[in-house]
Structure 1
Amino acid sequence: MTSRITRTVAATLATAALLAAPISAYAAVTQPTLSEAAVTSVHAPRGALVSAVPVARLTAAQLDGAAAGTGFVGTPAAKDDVTAYRLIYRTVDPNGRPTTASGLVVLPDGRHGALTVAEYLHGTTATKAYAASVSEDSTDRLVTALFAGQGLVGVAPDYLGLGLGPGEHPYIDTKTETSASADMLLAARTFALRHGVVLKRDVLVTGFSQGGRASVALGRALSRGEVSTFRLGALQGVAGPYDLLGTELPAAFNGGVAPATAAFYLAYFTTAWNRTVGLYDDPREAFQEPYASTVEGLFDGTHPDEDIVAGLPDSPEKLFTPAFIERLKHPTGRYLRALQTADQICHDWTPRVPVHFYNGTKDTDVVAANADVCATALRARGAQVTVHSMGAVDHVGTALAAYPQIVRAFSRWA
Structure 2
Amino acid sequence: MDETLAYVLFDAQGNGAFYSAFYFYSLYHYQQYWHDLSDVFQHPYDKMIPGLFDGQHDVDTIRSALPANSQALLHPALFKAFEQGTEPHLDQLRREFNRYQFVPKASLLLVGSRGDTDVPFSNSALAYRIFSTMGCDVALKSVSDEQDHRQAFLSVIFEQVEFFKTKLAS
Assess, with a 3 A threshold, how the Cα gap between structure 1 residues 301 and 336 changes in structure 2: closer, same or farther: farther
C-alpha contact 2:143 2:152 (8 A) present in aligned 1: yes
Query: Shift of residue 319 of structure 1?
Result: 0.9
Post-superposition CA distance 1:152-202 (Å, at most 9, x none): xxxxxxxxxxxxxxxxxxxxxxxxxxxxxxxxxxxxxxxxxxxxxxxxxxx
Matches within 5 A, 1:205-284: 246-255=2-11, 257-259=12-14, 261-284=15-38
CA distance in 2, matches of 1:254, 1:316: 7
Task: Report sequence identity in percent.
Answer: 22
Q: Does 1:299 align with 2:69?
A: no
Which runs of structure 2 are paired with 1:306-321 in the superposition (5 Å)?
A: 306-321=60-75
Rounded to whole Å, the distance in 2 between the matches of 1:339 and 1:319 is: 22
Q: Which amino acid aligns with 2:144?
A: G
8 Å CA contact 1:360–1:394 kept in 2: the answer is yes
Letter in 1 for 2:58: P
Q: Aligned partners of 1:377, 1:332: CA distance in 2, in Å? A: 27
Any stretches of 5+ residues in structure 1 without a counterpart?
Answer: 1-244
Distance 1:306 1:386, change over 3 A: closer
Query: What residue number does 1:369 align with?
Result: 122
> How large is the Cα RMSD of the aligned pairs?
2.4
- Counterpart Cα distance in 1 of 2:27 and 2:135: 32
Match of 1:342 in 2: 97
Structure 2 CA distance for partners of 1:306 and 1:369, relative to 1, 3 Å:
closer
Q: 1:398 to 1:375 in 2, by over 3 A?
A: same
Mark the CA change 1:278 to 1:310 in structure 2 (over 3 Å): closer, same or farther.
Answer: same
Q: Which amino acid aligns with 1:376?
A: R
The whole-number CA distance in structure 2 between the counterparts of 1:277 and 1:361 is 33
Alignment equivalent of 1:322, drawn from 70, 76, 99: 76
Deviation at 1:335, TM superposition (A): 4.5
SS of the residue aligned with 2:141?
A: strand
Match of 2:134 in 1: 381
Determine which of 108, 111, 117 is the counterpart of 1:355.
108
Q: Secondary structure at the match of 1:279?
A: coil
8 A Cα contact 2:10 2:70, kept in partner: no
Offset at 1:263?
A: 0.5
Alignment of 1:13-412 (within 5 A): 246-255=2-11, 257-259=12-14, 261-329=15-83, 330=85, 332-343=87-98, 345-349=99-103, 351-392=104-145, 393-412=147-166
The aligned amino acid for 2:37 is P
Aligned residue identity for 2:107 = P
- Report the Cα distance in structure 2 between the residues aligned to 1:359 and 1:312, rounded to whole angstroms: 26
Counterpart of 2:38, as a letter, is R
Does the 8 A contact of 2:78 with 2:87 survive in 1?
no
How many residue pairs get aligned? The number is 166
Q: Is the 8 A contact 2:9 2:20 kept in 1?
A: no
Higher strand residue share:
1
Q: How many angstroms apart in 2 are the aligned matches of 1:332 and 1:317? A: 15
User: Unpaired segments of 5 or more residues in structure 2?
Assistant: none
For the 8 Å contact 1:252–1:258, the answer to whether it is kept is: no
1:267-322 CA-to-partner distances (Å, cap 9, x unmatched) read: 01111111222232122222112212212221122223333223211211211122
User: Tell me, what secondary structure is at the counterpart of 1:346?
Assistant: coil
Q: Within 2, Cα distance between the matches of 1:408 and 1:336?
A: 39
Cα distance in 2 for partners of 1:294, 1:352 equals 41
Q: Decide which moves more: 263-272 or 361-370.
A: 361-370
